[in-house]
Structure 1
Amino acid sequence: MSGFEIWGLAFGLAMDGFAVSIASGVSLQRVQWRPILMIALSFCFFQIVNPLVGWLGAFHFRGLIDNVDHWIAFAILAFLGIRMLRESFKVKEDGESKPFDASNPKFVFGMALVTSLDALAVGITFAFMGMSTLSSMIYPLFVIGFVTLVLSFSGVFVGIRFGNLVTKRIRADLWGGLILIVVGIKVLYSSVPF
């Protein structure tokens, strides 16, 4: 696999995280360094770990992951997106928790894991392409992690800016929910053969 192909693959894997980072920025509505760093580092971590896990498990689980990862990602993203849309039309009472809480570590780790499920299949592909040693995985994993870190970090700021300019009339939960549903549909559409 050439360097150009690895960079292209990294951008492709990072785009779901970028979109969810935008939704997170819309939810945050202002610069909050702790959640921003948690979001970017979580997406980076799971985009590095999942290809490695897929690569390690390639010989044990061959077709299992590839057949269901997109359905799992779609279901979770659609569920959260629909929940956010529904919540955006409800009147919030003081102290009520947000359905899309970009400052909650459990929520962020869950979203990072869900958006990186396709990276498991990429790891399996790496194993079948002849990357048989851990040293052959270092450069692709570094590129995937770097691109994901930069795009996720940037995505939060795009979301904050977008949230501050556009969502003054429409609730941030509504925009975040729509983005999650679109990402879920994209994951499903790109993985299901027609």
Structure 2
Amino acid sequence: MTFSALLILAFGMSMDAFAVAIGKGAALQRPQLREALRTGLIFGVIETLTPLVGWSLGQFATHFVARWDHWIAFTLLCFLGGRMLIEGCRQQPVTAAPCEPVKQHGLGLLVTTAIATSLDAMAIGVSLAFMQVNIVLTALLIGLSTFTMTTIGMLIGRLIGPLLGKRAELLGGAVLIAIGAQILWTHFA
């Protein structure tokens, strides 16, 4: 595989994380560059590790991983997206004190979302186990691309978040569910 093909692969692998990051950035109260970099780092590290895990699994258990990866990704993304939709629809009680705006997503939520969006990279890693590819270079390119695209996505979300208001969480949940559905569609098409 040529270096330019690896770059295209890395860019393609980072697009779902980019879409999710836009929703995550929009759901936060004006996220700072530090939060965008933190989110990009979490997504980038996980997206670097998953092709390596997939490549390792490809050495031993190709049929099992390939048979279930799309269902795992779909379930995780629908769960997280559904949770965001429920939170976006939940009404504040009139007597409640105003909530402190959310300035940072929890580590657990970011890691779970990053894993869900990187399962396709694991599947790519499985398929790369049967090709003459430098898996470490490939994984690093995928991780770097994901870090960059996620950070940019968070900053774009920061710009559109104030325009969307409470609907930003609804948009983010819908994006997660749509990505899960797209993973299933691609698998069965």
Residue 29 of structure 1 and its aligned partner are, at CA, apart by 3.3
Aligned residue among 179, 190, 193 for 2:186:
190
Structure 1 letter corresponding to 2:18 = F
Residue 94 of structure 1 and its aligned partner are, at CA, apart by 5.1
Q: How many percent identity over aligned positions? A: 35
Distance 1:129 1:147, change over 3 A: same
**Is the Cα contact below 8 Å between 1:101 and 1:107 reproduced in 2?**
no
The CA deviation string for residues 39-72 of structure 1, in whole angstroms up to 9 with x for no partner, is 1011111111111111122221111111111111
The CA deviation string for residues 139-183 of structure 1, in whole angstroms up to 9 with x for no partner, is 212221221111000000111111122x14x53221111111111
- The answer for the alignment partner of 1:79 in structure 2 is 79
Stretches of structure 1 lacking an aligned partner (at least 5 in a row):
none
Structure 2 letter corresponding to 1:15 = M
TM-score, structure 1 as length reference: 0.86
Q: RMSD of the TM alignment (CA)?
A: 2.3
**Is the Cα contact below 8 Å between 2:57 and 2:65 reproduced in 1?**
no
**Is the Cα contact below 8 Å between 1:38 and 1:108 reproduced in 2?**
no
Distance 1:97 1:105, change over 3 A: farther
Out of 105-114 and 77-86, give the one that drifted further.
Answer: 77-86
- The answer for the alignment partner of 1:16 in structure 2 is 16
**Is the Cα contact below 8 Å between 2:85 and 2:174 reproduced in 1?**
yes
Distance across 2 between alignment mates of 1:184 and 1:101:
26
User: Alignment partner of 1:77: what SS?
Assistant: helix
Stretches of structure 2 lacking an aligned partner (at least 5 in a row):
none
**Is the Cα contact below 8 Å between 1:38 and 1:105 reproduced in 2?**
no
Size of the alignment, in residue pairs?
Answer: 186
- The answer for the alignment partner of 2:138 in structure 1 is 140
The CA deviation string for residues 95-129 of structure 1, in whole angstroms up to 9 with x for no partner, is 9899x995200100111111111111111111101
User: Alignment partner of 2:184: what SS?
Assistant: helix
**Is the Cα contact below 8 Å between 1:102 and 1:108 reproduced in 2?**
no
